[in-house]
Amino acid sequence: MTTIYLVRHGENDFTGKRLVGRTPGVHLNEKGIEQAEAVAKALSTKNIKLIYTSPLERAYETALPLSKALNLPVQPNKGLEEVDFGDWQGYTVQKMRKLELFKLAQISPSRMQFPNGESYASAQERVVDALLKIASAAGEKTAIACFSHCDVIRLAVAWVIGMPLDAFHSLTAETGSISVVLLNQRRNMLLKLNGLPGDFQA
């Protein structure tokens, strides 16, 4: 049994406004830095032995305070990277909502393929494969922190609980939130979804 803390990166200046996707150079803003510090405080007592992160700056920066608190290296993992939104990268929320394909993305994400990008199905397969490999390499009874992105975390959680891909938008992962899953050869479990750092402090 491996415990994985799935942490969404902290806030940045584009959160809720623009689909930054894999755009380089997107950093945490002041609130995001505060969220990263809160996550570190919350998880520093959870006997975490390994820290993995999406290679994107906003996720890596969120992982750094915990890395410093535990004196553990941050290991980038491409499997935790944001969904490749292809041509949609950089679009504002308003622009996306005007697109006919946006309706498909909301109603039937299992059939959604971003133009010149990834499908939700392939993104889910990617992150699940990464988490299973991380858990397998770590061994049983190990706690791991994985810093990633909203859709990636929701896709992972949907797989853990056996939720159909078309329903994954009903899950949520706010900036600076912590979701907890157990990966087990017999039965995977969701222990917490979208938890606040304060929920984890004794």
pLDDT tens string 128-174:
999 999 999 998 789 999 999 999 999 999 999 999 999 999 999 99
Q: Give domain 2-200's CATH architecture.
A: 3-Layer(aba) Sandwich (3.40)
Give 97-139 pLDDT, tens digit per residue.
999 999 999 999 999 999 999 999 999 999 999 999 999 999 8
Burial class (CB in 10 A: 0-12, 13-18, 19+), 30: exposed
Whether 70 shows a pLDDT value over 80: the answer reads: yes
**E runs forming strands in the chain:** 2-8, 48-53, 74-76, 142-148, 178-183, 189-195
Domain borders along the chain are 2-200
Burial class (CB in 10 A: 0-12, 13-18, 19+), 146: buried
Q: 14 falls in which pLDDT band (50, 70, 90)?
A: very high
Strand order in the sheet with 142-148: 74-76, 48-53, 142-148, 2-8, 178-183, 189-195
pTM of the model: 0.96
